Amino acid sequence: MQGFGVKIGLAAGLLVAGFGATPAMAEKVKFEFWYGLSGDLGERVQDACKKFNDSQANFEIVCTSQNGYPETVQNAIAAYRAKKHPAVVQVFDGGTLDLMLSGAFVPAKKLMEDNGYKIDWSNYFPGIANYYATAKGELNSFPFNSSTAMFYYNVDAFTKAGIQNAPETWEDVEAAARKLKAAGYACPFGFSFDSWATVEQFSAIHNQPIATKNNGYDGLDTELTLNKTKLVDQLTFFKKMTDEGLFVVKTKQLGMDVVPAFTSETCQMIQSSIADHGTIGKTIKQGAKWDVTMLPVWKGTARQNSMVGGASLWVLNNRPEAEYKGAAAFLNFIAQPDMVEWWSTVTGYIPVTKTGFEAMKAKGFYDQPAFKGREKAIASLTFTPTSANTRGIRLGGFPQIRKEISDAMEGIFFGKLTVQAGLDQAVERGNVILRRFEKTYAGKALN
């Protein structure tokens, strides 16, 4: 086995028991894992931790939710400074550069080599691995809960409105929204101010940059460019549709976010993570017909691969050696084919290696009604080879930049700013964050 899947690279040798025979009554080596997922997905992380603890007698992983991705990064950094940090921390895509430049981690390759694991790094899907890799392609962290943005639609509502096919283009989405509205649906398409799907994924699949320097991969002196791309036209379209009542803003602050809006059948189309596939299946009315497909593109667009979302697992340095043995064992454990399939089954996250995906496909996983459509996330991530605009976004202070984009979108859709003024504001404020980050890490090279 060589990678996260059937040929799992982390599992070339099952060495959990080879970390030294411990006396029968010896105390287990405890180590901590901090993660950002909460709710149903957070409970599934706890299940994975319990499975690991029950599988062997040498280690005990203590898993603690920090109740949010940004909070996990902030808390881990504070704990690291106080020398009270966990051995393993889950870091979302937006925090990748912060961790890379911190130097506060043990590189994935070194960790596994030091503990006797042979890894087939090439087995990872490039669209996933490249986000967390060095310029040489060496992974700094371990892809864990990987996802991409997808388009969900209510088949029952489509049938009632006389819509035959899943939308492939934004022209299709507009036509479907008009038919749904005419059929009596108050919210044909629901969306939030989340930058990830509406801004970042749209830009990737339309081959549009977010920033200069290959979206930040080629230097800290990058600048945002999203106010000069097709994104301006996209948000102008969204604003027009919103003003006509065809698109409707759905946020927690307004009482209902996009996924609950879809599962309650309030809204008939949404963009959201493939990771929500499991939650939707569990919470939508029993018997309701719905489906998922790749994000739409504008007619005439040469579609590109979408970008990976979710998070990876980083192993922090300055922990006892015994904890690193436990961390390596845990990372090996969750890479086993049965765990890969279990994780995808109970969440909706995708396998991160080619062989993991092929094994699940061969077993008929994606033919089962409950999981049908999840394979389209892989198709989206691998639609083309990654390019400068689709490899990922490597910007310093990216969580704060996302907040500026979200704030700008709020201003746009609540009528306080024009589309151009909103994006100009996001770029201006975002560039201030980038310059501050560049100054903080002056002299540091991107590896």
Residues, the chain: 447
pLDDT above 60 for 197: yes
C-beta separation of 87 from 315 below 8 A: yes
**Lowest-pLDDT choice from 132-141, 173-182, 283-292:** 132-141
pLDDT at 383: 95
pLDDT at 63: 98
- Three-state secondary structure string covering the chain: CCCCCCCCHHHCCCCHHHCCCCCCCCCCEEEEEEECCCHHHHHHHHHHHHHHHHHCCCEEEEEEECCCHHHHHHHHHHHHHCCCCCCEEEEEHHHHHHHHHHCCEECHHHHHHHCCCCCCHHHECHHHHHHHECCCCCECCEEEEEECEEEEEEHHHHHHHCCCCCCCEHHHHHHHHHHHHHCCCCEEEEECCCHHHHHHHHHHHCCCCCEHHHHCCCCCCCCECHHHCCHHHHHHHHHHHHHCCCEEECCHHHCCCHHHHHHCCCEEEEEEEHHHHHHHHHHCCCCCCEEEEECCECCCCCCCCCCCEEEEEEEECCCCHHHHHHHHHHHHHCCCHHHHHHHHHHCCCECCEHHHHHHHHHCCHHHCCCCCCCHHHHHHHCCCCCCCCCCCCCCCCHHHHHHHHHHHHHHHHCCCCCHHHHHHHHHHHHHHHHHHHHHHCCCCCCC
Instruction: Please report which confidence band the pLDDT of residue 180 belongs to, taking 50, 70 and 90 as the band edges.
Output: very high
pLDDT above 50 for 6: no
The topology (CATH level 3) of 9-147+308-363 is D-Maltodextrin-Binding Protein; domain 2 (3.40.190)
Kindly state the percentage of the chain with pLDDT values over 70.
Answer: 94
Instruction: Please report which confidence band the pLDDT of residue 134 belongs to, taking 50, 70 and 90 as the band edges.
Output: confident
Give the pLDDT confidence of 53-106 residue by residue, as tens digits. Answer: 999 999 999 999 999 998 999 999 999 999 999 999 999 988 888 888 888 999
Give the pair of three-digit tokens for residue 433.
């964050």
pLDDT above 90 for 12: no
Kindly state the percentage of the chain with pLDDT values over 90.
Answer: 70
CB within 8 A of 215, min separation 6: which ones? 209, 222, 388, 389, 391, 392, 393, 394, 395
Distance CA 442, CA 297 (A): 39
pLDDT above 50 for 20: no
User: 18-25 — which CB contacts under 8 Å span 24+ positions?
Assistant: 18/116, 19/58, 19/115, 19/325, 19/329, 22/57, 22/58
pLDDT at 167: 98
Instruction: Please report which confidence band the pLDDT of residue 447 belongs to, taking 50, 70 and 90 as the band edges.
Output: low
C-beta separation of 333 from 53 below 8 A: no
Mean pLDDT of the 15-30 span: 57
The topology (CATH level 3) of 149-306+396-440 is D-Maltodextrin-Binding Protein; domain 2 (3.40.190)
pLDDT at 66: 96
Domains 9-147+308-363 and 149-306+396-440 belong to one CATH topology: yes
Give the pLDDT confidence of 379-413 residue by residue, as tens digits. Answer: 999 999 999 999 889 999 998 999 999 999 999 99
**Lowest-pLDDT choice from 92-96, 170-174, 197-201, 204-208:** 92-96
Instruction: Please report which confidence band the pLDDT of residue 420 belongs to, taking 50, 70 and 90 as the band edges.
Output: very high
Q: Domain spans of the chain? A: 9-147+308-363, 149-306+396-440
C-beta separation of 31 from 315 below 8 A: no
pLDDT at 25: 53
C-beta separation of 204 from 226 below 8 A: no
Give the pLDDT confidence of 300-345 residue by residue, as tens digits. Answer: 999 999 999 989 999 999 999 999 999 999 998 988 778 888 888 8
Instruction: Please report which confidence band the pLDDT of residue 136 belongs to, taking 50, 70 and 90 as the band edges.
Output: confident
